[in-house]
Amino acid sequence: MRSGHILLIEDDEDDQYLFQQMINELGVDNELRFFANGLEALDYLRVTEEQPFIILCDVNMPTMNGIELRKVIDQDEQLKKKAVPFIFLSTYASPVVVRDSYETTIQGFFKKADDYEAAKKQLHWIIGYWLHCVHPHNQDWK
């Protein structure tokens, strides 16, 4: 397992609980850290010395939504250098939202699966991809 924690930016507490259950069932050792909106996550990213493994982010949230968060990260040189993979997982995926999301530097946009097993499989694929992807903070490929 690649080191670093998984940031889940999700305002729905039921979804947070389900993500924790799926991570546990998948045997993922990375710590899962929850944030209820983009501003909380941004504050954390600006002060942490740790290198997160991946950011899984909802689009629609109070205070600062996911697209606003990604735009701030794109404009902040220090945060950009961390090169943390940023994936949207959202129940809402209109053509406008998807287009606006990809105008930032996200690495993927997934519509949340409708049932638990499908959502767990989706999470398995996302995490598996980033475990095997060559990445600036993965020194195994050098």
Domain count, the chain: 1
How many Å apart are CA 10 and CA 108, to the nearest integer? 16
What pLDDT does residue 138 have? 57
Q: Which domain range does residue 89 map to?
A: 6-141
Closest to 92 in 3D by CA, of 60, 132, 52, 135:
60
| Phi, psi for residue 128 in degrees, rounded to 5 | -60, -40
Instruction: Identify whether 83 is part of a domain.
Output: yes
Structural domain includes residue 40:
yes
Per-residue pLDDT for 140 more than 70?
A: no
**Residue 1 scores a pLDDT above 50:** yes
Name the amino acid, one letter, at 122. Answer: Q
Residue 88 lies in a domain: yes
Question: Rounded CA gap, 142 and 122, in Å?
Answer: 29
Q: Which CATH number belongs to the domain containing residue 105 in this structure?
A: 3.40.50.2300
pLDDT digits (tens, 9 = 90+) for 88-111: 999 888 888 888 888 898 999 999
In a domain, 43, yes or no: yes
- 135 pLDDT higher than 90: no
Q: Does a structural domain hold residue 1?
A: no
**17-28 average pLDDT score:** 96
- Domain assignment of residue 128, yes or no: yes
| Position 85 in a domain | yes
